[in-house]
């Protein structure tokens, strides 16, 4: 489905990003994988290489100006760009009343929103050439306020990401680029512990999240990845400016 298309995936060192990178490679794509942790990226890179598609590995912090090299190195290496998956994301804790919301907001927005805007602006000229598309990995958090006050900045960032995606979809439609978001609910991966959650509470956290969903189970990384592949493919050629929820029905119930 993606034979010799070139795909960039940020946040590819774990979770959804690692899974979707592998799925793209299995469908014939050349993949650039990006994250800060080189050891984890190298491990994922080996799994991708086993599909016969050698990935370009770029260690970069996308919240910093060095993110610009992600696009230029991909073009130098693969010669074109067809799909940009802005998947890297973090959460940071701080509420209005505990006095830490500004700190949390600044940290989260740099990665979850500013970096996406930065990479979009650098990628757009190349995506216009291939009539490519962008998938932004948002969250169900974009669609409702946080019930946990300390997570407010995460919800704000994902709502901003959805709205940026709609603005970008409208502007970039003029040059043939589609822009969509996927909005996962709880996913069975390490996002909770990677973002300061207590590892010893991981299984309790999983059970709590399962009980909050209508279906009673969490999504897998691959399930989110398959929706990303659909939106990135020609099967979705008339889909742009959309937010696709994959959340086991958590928004229906909680
Ligand atoms: N898990 C869930 O329940 C859930 C639900 C809804 C939405 N999401 C969204 O899904 C996306 C992927 O998260 P995940 O669930 O797969 O969790 P994850 O395993 O924690 O993945 C996050 C990825 O982002 C990378 N990353 C974070 N900050 C970065 C930075 N400044 N520069 C480059 N890479 C950075 C991390 O790699 P390094 O640490 O190596 O840089 C990691 O590969 C995120 O946008 C998240 O908000 C997750």
C-alpha to C-alpha distance for 17 and 219, rounded to whole angstroms: 14
Q: Closest Cα to atom 45, ligand 1: which residue?
A: 89
Please give the radius of gyration of the chain, using alpha carbons only, rounded to the nearest integer: 17
- Bridge partner residues of 6 (DSSP): 30
User: Residue range 49-77: average pLDDT?
Assistant: 97
Task: Please give the CATH topology (third level) of the domain spanning 6-253.
Answer: Rossmann fold (3.40.50)
The catalytic residue positions are: 154
Which has the higher per-residue pLDDT, 200 or 82? 82
The 10s digit of each residue's pLDDT in 172-206 is: 999 999 999 999 999 999 999 999 998 998 999 99
Which of the 8 DSSP states describes residue 252?
H
C-alpha to C-alpha distance for 1 and 26, rounded to whole angstroms: 9
Q: Is the CB of 63 under 6 A from ligand 1?
A: yes
Query: Is this model's pTM higher than 0.95 or not?
Result: yes
The residues near 45 (Cβ < 8 Å, ≥ 6 apart) are: 33, 55, 57
User: Residue range 106-133: average pLDDT?
Assistant: 98
Question: What are the CA-CA distances from residue 65 to residues 68, 71, 192 (Å)?
Answer: 6, 12, 27
Domain residue spans in the chain?
6-253
User: Residue range 15-41: average pLDDT?
Assistant: 98
C-alpha to C-alpha distance for 119 and 10, rounded to whole angstroms: 10
Q: Is the CB of 88 under 6 A from ligand 1?
A: yes
């Amino acid at each position: 489905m993606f034979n010799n298309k070139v795909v960039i995936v940020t946040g590819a060192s774990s979770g959804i990003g690692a899974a979707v990178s592998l799925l793209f490679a299995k469908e014939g794509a050349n993949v650039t994988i990006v994250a800060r942790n080189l050891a984890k990226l190298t491990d994922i890179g080996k799994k991708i290489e086993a599909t016969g598609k050698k990935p370009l590995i770029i260690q970069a912090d996308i919240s910093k100006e060095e993110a610009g090299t992600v696009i230029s190195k991909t073009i130098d290496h693969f010669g074109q760009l067809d799909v940009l998956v802005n998947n890297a994301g973090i959460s940071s804790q701080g509420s209005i009343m505990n006095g830490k919301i500004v700190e949390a907001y600044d940290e989260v927005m740099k990665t979850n929103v500013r970096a996406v805007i930065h990479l979009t602006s650098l990628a757009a000229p190349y995506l216009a050439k291939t009539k490519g598309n962008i998938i932004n990995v948002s969250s169900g958090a974009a669609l409702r306020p946080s019930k946990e006050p300390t997570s407010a900045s995460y919800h704000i960032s994902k709502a901003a990401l959805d709205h940026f995606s709609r603005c970008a979809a409208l502007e970039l439609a003029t040059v043939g680029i589609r822009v969509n978001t996927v909005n996962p609910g709880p996913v069975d991966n390490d996002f909770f512990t990677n973002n300061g959650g207590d590892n010893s509470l991981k299984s309790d956290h999983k059970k709590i999240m399962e009980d909050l969903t209508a279906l009673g189970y969490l999504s897998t990384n691959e399930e989110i990845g398959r929706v990303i592949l659909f939106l990135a493919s020609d099967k979705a050629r008339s889909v742009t400016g959309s937010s696709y929820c994959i959340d086991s029905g958590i928004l229906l119930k909680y």
